[in-house]
């Protein structure tokens, strides 16, 4: 499938098994000129490998609104976005992660957060919690 695709759009969670899932080996198996789109989590992509393949013109383009520097559960996350990746302006598009930046969506989220706070202070687990709210999240790949 990788050899045939013109676009690869990532839509998966960051787990120890998906960290740097898209690296030099995976990109090497992709169709020359394929465009990689990452709106999932920054650390799913090895940004240095992407920078290398962009400069070698193996990868046709990279679009992202998430970056490794933003994955705060990684104790070894980079301190900044790779400068080499940022210099590839003709084949990259970077945008802020703003999918929820719409008034009605933000308002609904605010109400849900308020309900969760009220649940917590009344001794209940916040509704919709996908983790155990009493535990801190664990680090990824340290």
Q: Hey, which residues are catalytic here?
A: 41, 70, 97
Question: Distance (Å, rounded) from C-alpha 39 to C-alpha 25?
Answer: 21
Q: Assess contact for 24 and 46: CB atoms under 8 A.
A: yes
Query: Is residue 115 within a helix (H) or strand (E), and if so which, with residue range?
Result: helix 103-121
Question: Distance (Å, rounded) from C-alpha 10 to C-alpha 26?
Answer: 13
Q: Classify residue 9 by its DSSP letter.
A: E
Residue 63, SS3 per DSSP: strand
């Amino acid at each position: 499938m990788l050899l045939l695709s013109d676009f690869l759009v990532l839509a998966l969670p960051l787990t120890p098994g998906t960290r740097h899932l898209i690296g030099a080996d995976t990109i090497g198996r992709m169709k020359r000129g394929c465009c990689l789109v990452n709106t999932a989590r920054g650390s799913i992509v090895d940004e240095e490998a992407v920078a290398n393949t962009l400069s070698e013109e193996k990868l046709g383009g990279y679009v992202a609104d998430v970056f490794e520097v933003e994955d705060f559960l990684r104790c070894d996350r980079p301190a900044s976005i790779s400068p080499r990746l940022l210099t590839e302006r003709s084949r990259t598009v970077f945008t802020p992660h703003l999918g929820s930046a719409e008034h009605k969506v933000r308002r609904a989220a605010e109400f849900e957060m308020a309900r969760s706070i009220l649940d917590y202070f009344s001794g209940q687990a916040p509704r919709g919690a996908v983790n155990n709210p009493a535990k801190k999240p664990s680090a990824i790949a340290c």
